[in-house]
Amino acid sequence: MSKMQLGVIFGSRTCEHEVSVISALQLMRAANRDTYDVIPIYISKKGEWFTGEPLFEMATFSPFEESRKGIVRVTLDLTAGSGVLTTLEPAKGLFGKDHHRLVARLDCVIPVMHGMHGEDGSLQGLLEMCNLPYASSGVGASALGMDKVYMKDFFKGCGFPVLPSCWFLRKAWEADPEQIMEQIEKELSYPVFVKPASLGSSIGVSRATDRKSLKEALEVAYEFDRKVLVEKGIEDPLELNCSVLGYNGEAKASPIEMPITSGALLSFMDKYGSNSSKGMASLKRVLPAPVEPELRDEIQSLSLRIFKAMDCKGVVRIDYMFAPQENRLYITEINTIPGSLAFYLWEASGISYAELIDQMVHCALEAKEDKDNSNYAFTSDILKNITLGGKAGAKNGLKNA
């Protein structure tokens, strides 16, 4: 049997570009080569798409040089069901013409993106248009999971526990910062956590304890996003994370990890600093988390309910904070494409990374089958008797069409 052509898309225009490179290289190393031909697809910081053997190596990315031997600039054919990646070959000889050369024909894609332009539903939308199976959550769940304001409103609507918060647009902040800060102080008490709505890896997240630090925190957050969330802070929370894997109502929850924080919040350096080539897998953690069985069961069952409510697909990680003062659990966030794809949590339950990839691919193929089982062609004759206003054949914007 021929091997599955498995595209792994990573990089892209996001603050978490480097984290995505680490996650993707780990995944590509772990994939079973007897089952898959792995095709790396790297989206540069400028948004250009590339493939080629050097993309399996970490050294290729520091810094990335597209002129490096073996790297080819590619384009994905948007035609539904095609999956074709091509490269534009320049003309040879005097009368030659530029032409597209086929580089690969993808059967399935694993998006290994963190943050904007990849984890947020945009790439998922593109892959839906291409009708290509892909192993991450769909457009809706990805978009909900990326934007912390949408996410919290959704969780609230479902009756899931989230901390009180408020949010503001950059335009309102620029127009009247004092009024925004007054409103925050009216709604919440210090300490508060200030977060760009659509970021991850703790970038732009700060803790504020008074008006001065609030102003600084908001200024930082608005550099990264036009939408900023301000949330009631918990003192010394126990952070507890749980991964969920599955699709279509069939899902399982992983063991729970307790990441170790070095300061008032789990920082970018806590997550990736100690051995950055391992990404999230290098974070200092206690696994399984030393929590009572009741709390463990509560987290796992809530995680499964969240996964179902959002109609997620593949592997996600849901992060929690347990407030010891109140003896209460709150959802911090969901990561629809978690750092290192949370493989280390699955390894802890006896599922190797290679098996995890197989299961993710299985979810992708099942979702595609599901999609193909819906009808997209409803036949009607409503176009027959329609007369439009305006002049027929009026000049349009097409050139040489």
Ligand X SMILES: Nc1ncnc2c1ncn2[C@@H]1O[C@H](COP(=O)(O)OP(=O)(O)O)[C@@H](O)[C@H]1O
* Stretch near ligand X under the rule CB under 6 A, chosen from 5-13, 27-35, 71-79, 260-268: 260-268
Please report whether residue 199 would count as binding ligand X according to CB under 6 A.
Answer: yes
Of the candidate residues 71, 141, 163, 356, the single one contacting ligand X (CB under 6 A): 163
Please report whether residue 111 would count as binding ligand X according to CB under 6 A.
Answer: no
Q: Are the C-beta atoms of residues 52 and 72 closer than 8 Å to each other?
A: yes
In the structure encoding, which two tokens stand for residue 57, read together? 């190596």
Site string for ligand X, 66-95 (x = CB under 6 A): ------------------------------
Please report whether residue 147 would count as binding ligand X according to CB under 6 A.
Answer: no
Element (H, E) at 294: helix 293-310
How far is 340 from 283, CA to CA, in rounded Å?
Answer: 11
Among 26, 10, 83, 37, smallest CA distance to 279 is for 26
Rank residues 225 and 239 by Cβ distance to ligand X and give the closer one.
239
Min dist CB 172 to ligand X, Å, is 22
Residues β-bridged to residue 167: 229
Of residues 340 through 399, those in contact with ligand X by CB under 6 A are none
Q: Are the C-beta atoms of residues 23 and 339 closer than 8 Å to each other?
A: yes
Rank residues 204 and 314 by Cβ distance to ligand X and give the closer one.
204
* Stretch near ligand X under the rule CB under 6 A, chosen from 30-38, 181-189, 200-208, 365-373: 200-208
Of the candidate residues 112, 130, 234, 240, the single one contacting ligand X (CB under 6 A): 234
In this structure, what are the phi and psi dihedrals at residue 318, rounded to the nearest 5 degrees?
-110, 130
Q: Are the C-beta atoms of residues 211 and 181 closer than 8 Å to each other?
A: yes
Size of the site for ligand X (CB under 6 A): 21
* Stretch near ligand X under the rule CB under 6 A, chosen from 93-101, 134-142, 261-269, 388-396: 261-269
Please report whether residue 319 would count as binding ligand X according to CB under 6 A.
Answer: yes
* Stretch near ligand X under the rule CB under 6 A, chosen from 27-35, 105-113, 195-203, 360-368: 195-203
How far is 401 from 393, CA to CA, in rounded Å?
Answer: 13
Please report whether residue 228 would count as binding ligand X according to CB under 6 A.
Answer: no
In the structure encoding, which two tokens stand for residue 360, read together? 């993710």
Of the candidate residues 87, 142, 201, 303, the single one contacting ligand X (CB under 6 A): 201
3 state SS of 375: coil
* Stretch near ligand X under the rule CB under 6 A, chosen from 24-32, 119-127, 193-201, 294-302: 193-201
Determine what percent of the chain falls in helix, strand and coil, rounding each to the nearest 5.
35, 25, 40
Residues β-bridged to residue 20: none
How far is 351 from 171, CA to CA, in rounded Å?
Answer: 47
Min dist CB 236 to ligand X, Å, is 9
Of residues 117 through 146, those in contact with ligand X by CB under 6 A are none
* Stretch near ligand X under the rule CB under 6 A, chosen from 49-57, 234-242, 272-280, 300-308: 234-242
Q: Are the C-beta atoms of residues 312 and 248 closer than 8 Å to each other?
A: no
* Stretch near ligand X under the rule CB under 6 A, chosen from 45-53, 54-62, 201-209, 299-307: 201-209
Of the candidate residues 111, 233, 279, 314, the single one contacting ligand X (CB under 6 A): 233
How many residues in the chain?
401
Cβ contacts of 131 within 8 Å, gap of 6 or more: 80, 81, 368, 371
Q: Are the C-beta atoms of residues 245 and 337 closer than 8 Å to each other?
A: no
Residues β-bridged to residue 37: 5
Of the candidate residues 111, 118, 138, 200, the single one contacting ligand X (CB under 6 A): 200
Burial class of residue 152 (count of CB atoms within 10 Å of its CB; 0-12, 13-18, 19+): buried
Min dist CB 305 to ligand X, Å, is 20
Instruction: Name the DSSP class of 61.
Output: B
In the structure encoding, which two tokens stand for residue 347, read together? 């390894």
Rank residues 183 and 261 by Cβ distance to ligand X and give the closer one.
261
Of the candidate residues 237, 246, 279, 338, the single one contacting ligand X (CB under 6 A): 237
- Please give the residue ranges that form the binding site for ligand X (CB under 6 A): 163, 193, 195, 199-202, 205, 231-234, 237, 239, 261, 265-266, 319, 321, 332-333
